[in-house]
Amino acid sequence: MTGAPAIDVQGLTKRFGAKTVVDGFSIQVTRGQIHGFLGPNGSGKTTTIRMLCGLLVPDAGTGTCLGHDIVRESWAIKRQVGYMTQKFSLYEDLTIGENLDFVARLYALPDRKAQVKAALDRLGLAHRRDQLAGTLSGGWKQRLALAACILHGPKLLLLDEPTAGVDPKARREFWDEIHALAAEGMTVLVSTHYMDEAERCHRIAYLAYGKLLTVGSVPEVIAGAGLHSLAAEGEELGPVRRDLEGKPGVSMVAPFGSRLHVSGPDPVLLAQAVDPWRDQPGLRWQAVEPSLEDVFIHLMHQSRDNFAPGTATGGTA
Ligand SMILES: Nc1ncnc2c1ncn2[C@@H]1O[C@H](COP(=O)(O)OP(=O)(O)OP(=O)(O)O)[C@@H](O)[C@H]1O
């Protein structure tokens, strides 16, 4: 069993009314890996996570999570998964210690007090155990939520945007803890909109409009996109940007401080688009490796918005 993937699903599909919000999703996630889950708002990440842990029944598709059938054995999956939802869902008028004790009772954990203490110590929460959850900052709330998720000793963590709105230091500490858990054998599927977090994952998957567009390690995803990028550096980038946006061969123009990234799938067409600006005084051009963000925006532009009204599967939302 140890060699089997933690998640192995094929063709997962979910419809809400006329709208197909997850469309033929397949993925394998190796045990002990941190797998990032990225995509624009409303692309179906949460819906997929909820199908994986048995909270939603797919309309089509098959597969296993921790070796259990996602439809027939959802009860067995739920006991072995820690699911951190987007919204803080603990009691704000209970203390940290009381919240964890409550969760431990829900799971009917034997040796409850020792388990709560271990979680408090692990997440650095012991000195705050008597503080009301409602008075915690965003970063500490997320730590508490993570403590509650790991209390029952799950094998898989499903984390839905766990660090949204959390400051960079707290995010880094949270991710250090995720890596420590993975090093101990925990599998983690984590959705995020942050590129730096994507780069901390062993592998990433990118979903847009319900369809999985790419999956792999960060270098594999960047290489697989077949995108080429040029960067211009200079003072007067506004006119360059306005001219290049929408030009044939240019899929994306994005300012990064005093640099402008210009990307496209065909290097010849990209060069032709940029040529009129090559010898512009004060502008320096160089070829650069596309960033993960360049690749994601490119993929998003390429994929059809099947959620839009008027498309085959599109609804009215
Ligand atoms: N219970 C539901 N009934 C109807 N539509 C739903 C339901 N749950 C989700 N949706 C729709 O399904 C689509 C996908 O939503 P989902 O929350 O899975 O996306 P997401 O990628 O997690 O988005 P975000 O990054 O904003 O959290 C959205 O258009 C959403 O409005």
Cα dihedral 88, 19, 38, 267, rounded to 10, equals -160
Instruction: Give the pLDDT confidence score for residue 52 in this predicted structure.
Output: 93
For ligand 1, atom 30: residue with the closest CA: 42
Instruction: Give the pLDDT confidence score for residue 309 in this predicted structure.
Output: 54
Give the residue ranges of DSSP H helices in 92-189.
96-106, 112-122, 138-150, 168-183
Q: Which residue has the tokens 């062993």?
A: 202
Does the Cβ of 43 fall within 6 Å of ligand 1? yes
Separation of alpha carbons 49 and 43, rounded Å: 12
For ligand 1, atom 26: residue with the closest CA: 41
In 192-294, which ranges are E strands?
203-208, 211-216, 228-233, 252-256, 259-264, 284-288
14 Cα nearest atom in ligand 1: 12
Instruction: Give the pLDDT confidence score for residue 308 in this predicted structure.
Output: 56
Instruction: Give the pLDDT confidence score for residue 301 in this predicted structure.
Output: 80
For ligand 1, atom 16: residue with the closest CA: 44
Instruction: Give the pLDDT confidence score for residue 1 in this predicted structure.
Output: 45
Q: pLDDT in tens for each of the 317 residues of the chain?
A: 457 899 999 999 999 999 999 999 999 999 999 999 999 999 999 999 999 999 999 999 999 999 999 999 999 999 999 999 988 888 999 999 999 999 999 999 999 999 999 999 999 999 999 999 999 999 999 999 999 999 999 999 999 999 988 899 999 999 999 999 999 999 999 999 999 999 999 999 999 999 999 999 999 999 999 999 999 998 889 999 999 998 999 989 988 888 999 999 999 999 999 999 998 888 999 999 999 998 998 888 877 654 555 554 443 33
Helix or strand (DSSP H, E) at 219: helix 218-224
Separation of alpha carbons 240 and 230, rounded Å: 13
Instruction: Give the pLDDT confidence score for residue 165 in this predicted structure.
Output: 84
Residue 42 Cα to ligand 1 middle (Å): 5
Instruction: Give the pLDDT confidence score for residue 300 in this predicted structure.
Output: 84
For ligand 1, atom 5: residue with the closest CA: 16
Amino acid at 186: M
Domain ranges of the chain: 7-221, 228-289
Residue 73 Cα to ligand 1 middle (Å): 24
Per-residue b/e over 112-127, b at no fewer than 16 CB within 10 Å?
A: beebbeebbebbebee
Separation of alpha carbons 285 and 77, rounded Å: 53
- For residue 315, the tally of other CB atoms under 10 A from its CB is 16
CA distance to 7, 39, 89, 152, 269, per residue, from 176 (Å): 23, 23, 23, 20, 43
Residue 217 Cα to ligand 1 middle (Å): 26
86 Cα nearest atom in ligand 1: 27
The first and second tokens of residue 147, run together, are: 């403590």
Does the Cβ of 46 fall within 6 Å of ligand 1? yes
Helix or strand (DSSP H, E) at 314: none
ipTM of the complex: 0.96
Please, are residues 56 and 9 in contact by the beta-carbon 8 Å criterion?
no
Instruction: Give the pLDDT confidence score for residue 316 in this predicted structure.
Output: 32
Please, are residues 197 and 175 in contact by the beta-carbon 8 Å criterion?
yes
Separation of alpha carbons 169 and 44, rounded Å: 29
47 Cα nearest atom in ligand 1: 18
Residue 60 Cα to ligand 1 middle (Å): 17
Separation of alpha carbons 121 and 98, rounded Å: 15
Separation of alpha carbons 73 and 59, rounded Å: 16
Residue 211 Cα to ligand 1 middle (Å): 13
Does the Cβ of 210 fall within 6 Å of ligand 1? no
The first and second tokens of residue 165, run together, are: 């709105």
Architecture of the structural domain at 7-221: 3-Layer(aba) Sandwich (3.40)
Residue 62 Cα to ligand 1 middle (Å): 21
3-state secondary structure of 244: helix
Residue 43 Cα to ligand 1 middle (Å): 7
Q: According to CATH, what is the number of the domain 228-289?
A: 3.30.70.330
Q: What is the DSSP string of 71-108?
A: TTTHHHHHHHEEEE-SS--S-TTSBHHHHHHHHHHHTT
Instruction: Give the pLDDT confidence score for residue 235 in this predicted structure.
Output: 82
The order of strands in the sheet holding 68-69 is 19-29, 7-16, 60-65, 68-69
